[in-house]
Structure 1
């Protein structure tokens, strides 16, 4: 059933904080028009009876300066830099986990040092999705860090209209659930084989040969080309990897699908004592169980945090380094005894133009994976309780995962990566599409999917939603070398090794510089990457 905008509650007045051309504008939106500056009473009335919709993360405001640098437009209008007269022992570029870890490690070694942390976002220090734990759908050892907190497998799968023409919710806890899937009969038989008594797909090959064969395939290719699975069976499995990796099984390697317990590998006779040398760093690092993610350091009161200050230039001089940042009006510069770039690697070439071209190319190869998450506050959680499940994976809708978060919230996750293009190209293409997606479309998709899921048990998307917060992260998960996309893995040489290392008084940190460089001998899980890279950068500048 197709729901209209009115059915979804999109016609109700809503208190919003939208961002237009990098300027925060508070307004009340009514159907088809944006009201002019309304009276205080009207604003309060709308807020009292409407569901607030907020966008956080990579907003237009936070990205306007980095994108202008990338496009070569910034310095045309910026004007000459203005020195502030400030000097710090260390300036950290980036206020996420890596930046705060670098500041904390520097101050641990030098308690009396002066430290400045510059971040492009406003408010609290930015959090990096790559350092979060997550859920995933798997059946045995091997857990990868990902965009959401670690949890258990889904209780149900929504075989949605986007994939199979109609919405059908199927619980996974009772025997015979495969027989209830709205897919072709042959696809159900194929899934029974994959989940049950899968054969030996590679007779005659050694264990090393089988692993090498898996390393050359994505999981979707394994299902289609090796198992001969019906397209409906592959389509049913496609979003299994989304909550954990940020892309679907068209980009997720078969060797890591085996390592994390996906169906179809039972007949290969591969031992579970140790991972394959071809498994990605995260899978190898967490083979014997989840690795605790180091807690995010709280901002050290001895370090000064300056938000809404995107850095635009870093130059290593004769006696000190110079760091320029945009304060919203002009470029200001501070002097630094040392600089740690705990930002996206792909941004570094635009900040440090003096870097050798080989390092610039290597840094640009670190393409991060985009994510969108939403938090919905419900006025009445009764419908979700009546549904009888907590976690739901969707097979093809925009939001691929949703879960109930007691006492009255819902969390959703979307993975914009164009997975058919691979993790790198797909992330870049998905990020472009994400930044072109209107906020209204994000809100409508949240309301629509909750209505489709919970409507049959009495949910009203217009009256039962109290607030929606969307976190938009165009550059969310740190990239990770993996098969089949990086044939140089695990033996190297790795582009990240060419990208990192000190450059005068400048060192490169951030999770891009950590998880990318993981190898079969030194695996680094995503959750550890930013902290490990921060400690290494401080060590490099201390020699």
Structure 2
């Protein structure tokens, strides 16, 4: 029976997911207690900081100890437990925000660099690359980052399970629409020797490995939301996404009311009615741009609330909010159902794709996306290899796939480029009048400590802030107030990528699914790793062998504007410790896969939670922002006003393009380097 999900019902579901850490999961399916799910059975170590579980290693042996970082310490990509923005790495940032850093001693070190870059993500590393390329390899560069790994969201996760090495992205997924990449992003890929055509050829023999095993798309209905746990697999594997694989046979097997089933069949029918017949096409598109997909489904298409609940997380993996904050026009452009009768025509290929970064929701998907096994961590690792040669000898995409990096080589005295991790910059200020140039002093806290006994100050002739826009006003008080306000507009979207290493994938084969949507569950999507092979990394072939499963959770809080959802979701995400995620991983996988013979206690080898409370860059939303911000390249957009240079400081990040795409981060890096070179070449040109 399809539930009528009132706001109070939705609140109870959200609350239920939070309190489940104490009450167990007996009401939601097959897992009756922690012992049955295996939670805690094979955990090698738990460290608690202020009550938060910060690291956990599961499996027959601690996976983190099998590969050292050359110095004997843990190899960062192989760490499990809470990763991403993990405890101990961001507290100084929060203290800075709260004006609570307190008193400390600052040590001035004798380090003056030609360029200091704050942020070792794709944008910061790209800025270093372009600067060396144009200014010369003899220039001294320091890159500071608060995390314990480089790449920003382009993070790599590694697992060693029963002798099988597994690699998956812990953040940025893919090179999206590479044919539409801007000039400088394409140049960077060429400079690094990335050959996407060669990679596609190498992966072609394995791209249909799941299809060869008879695996399709699936939808999992959980008992807390739908009355019973039910896995409904597609009849055939179709190439589409966003529910385009639904057919009448699937609908018949879904735990929906008769009315909901009828409404869903109508919604996916190419011959459905024109719900906006009184309007011309221009008026229809204007209305859809200013109406949420939720309102469109419930008040225009008039579907049963149970049908809406199926789609309430529509495009949440893209925008970090659900259908209540998603313009209906974006849902149409991405191929969601309900629009085939409106006569809107086809969205032109590459529509608006030349705007900086190609913002999500403003163009059709190209189908040419490229996903390396570790996502865009491959780009970050190749950048590091070119910037700091002592880190690895690998210099091709094939060699990098299996390369073991020496993290101790990142920050060696005397090197032309030094990358200093676990260093949270808390203050940036010119030594004198910004209008007269000179040097810039940067103070950072070791390991992100909120109350360090000592901080360190270095100096740069030029500075590029390649960190988050929203932290810049706090670290650089001398900026003009109008620019601080524009920087604060870029509220980032929280999300979580949880990678679960399994000892086998028999259950997926028996249930005939490889990608599963989970409306109402704690995790929104569950999928087997994408089949890819490159260098030492091989694609999965044998269901008896280990594999990695990706579980995605977005944290939108329905009923609030997009920016407010992000703020509320970030607070919620930071309140969830690893123990919560572990319980939810084990419980949801057991309920979903138990009928296929899955045993969470036996089959789960390791869990890595990639927590990104400051995840995707804010993209303008036509429900809350002016239409010209969303659909034009106007300089009035806050992202343009925020990225203006000031004195010897430039700004480069994905926020500067209001786009979370990798090519946006690279584009903004190149712009910032151009500003740096202009100031260096023409010192009488200042920015204030």
TM-score (norm 2): 0.68
1:59 maps onto 2:100 in alignment: no
Q: Which structure 2 residues correspond to residues 387-466 of structure 1 after superposition, within 5 A?
A: 387-405=511-529, 406=540, 407-466=546-605
Q: Would the alpha carbon gap of residues 97 and 53 (structure 1) be closer, same or farther in structure 2, given more than 3 Å must change? A: closer
2:289 counterpart residue number:
215
1:317 maps onto 2:431 in alignment: yes
Following TM superposition, where does structure 1 have runs of at least 4 consecutive aligned residues deviating by more than 4 angstroms?
A: 21-29, 128-131, 150-154, 275-280, 285-294
Q: Would the alpha carbon gap of residues 277 and 224 (structure 1) be closer, same or farther in structure 2, given more than 3 Å must change? A: farther
State the Cα distance separating 1:201 from its structure 2 match.
1.4
Q: Which structure 2 residues correspond to residues 430-509 of structure 1 after superposition, within 5 A?
A: 430-488=569-627, 489=629, 490-491=631-632, 492=634, 493-509=636-652
Distance 2:57 2:652 in 1: 42
2:129 counterpart residue number:
104
Match of 1:534 among 669, 673, 677: 669
Match of 1:331 among 449, 455, 458: 455
TM-score (norm 1): 0.85
2:14 counterpart residue number:
none
1:193 maps onto 2:266 in alignment: yes
1:284 counterpart residue number:
362
2:495 counterpart residue number:
371
Distance 2:55 2:288 in 1: 52
Which piece of structure 1 moves more, 117-126 or 60-69? Answer: 117-126
Distance 2:558 2:469 in 1: 22
* 1:446-469 deviation line (CA, Å, top 9, x unaligned): 000110011111111111111111
* 1:392-451 deviation line (CA, Å, top 9, x unaligned): 010011111111233522111111121432321111101101111121111000000110
Is this contact kept in 1: 2:57–2:81, CA < 8 A? no
Is this contact kept in 1: 2:334–2:364, CA < 8 A? no
Cα RMSD, aligned residues only: 2.9
Q: Would the alpha carbon gap of residues 530 and 28 (structure 1) be closer, same or farther in structure 2, given more than 3 Å must change? A: closer
Distance 2:329 2:611 in 1: 30
1:42 counterpart residue number:
none
1:163 counterpart residue number:
225
Unaligned runs of 5+ in 1: 30-51, 136-141, 143-149, 517-524
Distance 1:371 1:291 in 2: 21
Is this contact kept in 2: 1:247–1:417, CA < 8 A? yes
Distance 1:154 1:383 in 2: 13
State the Cα distance separating 1:165 from its structure 2 match.
2.2
Q: Would the alpha carbon gap of residues 327 and 53 (structure 1) be closer, same or farther in structure 2, given more than 3 Å must change? A: closer
Distance 1:219 1:430 in 2: 20
Is this contact kept in 2: 1:22–1:64, CA < 8 A? no
1:205 maps onto 2:267 in alignment: no
1:92 maps onto 2:117 in alignment: yes
2:184 counterpart residue number:
none
* 1:122-153 deviation line (CA, Å, top 9, x unaligned): 14443348743399xxxxxx9xxxxxxx9999
Distance 1:386 1:110 in 2: 58
Which piece of structure 1 moves more, 211-220 or 267-276? Answer: 267-276
Distance 1:417 1:368 in 2: 12
* 1:75-112 deviation line (CA, Å, top 9, x unaligned): x13x2421101000000001111110111111111122
Q: Would the alpha carbon gap of residues 186 and 131 (structure 1) be closer, same or farther in structure 2, given more than 3 Å must change? A: same
Is this contact kept in 2: 1:379–1:464, CA < 8 A? yes
Q: Would the alpha carbon gap of residues 155 and 13 (structure 1) be closer, same or farther in structure 2, given more than 3 Å must change? A: closer
Secondary structure of the residue that 1:283 maps to in structure 2? coil
1:249 counterpart residue number:
323
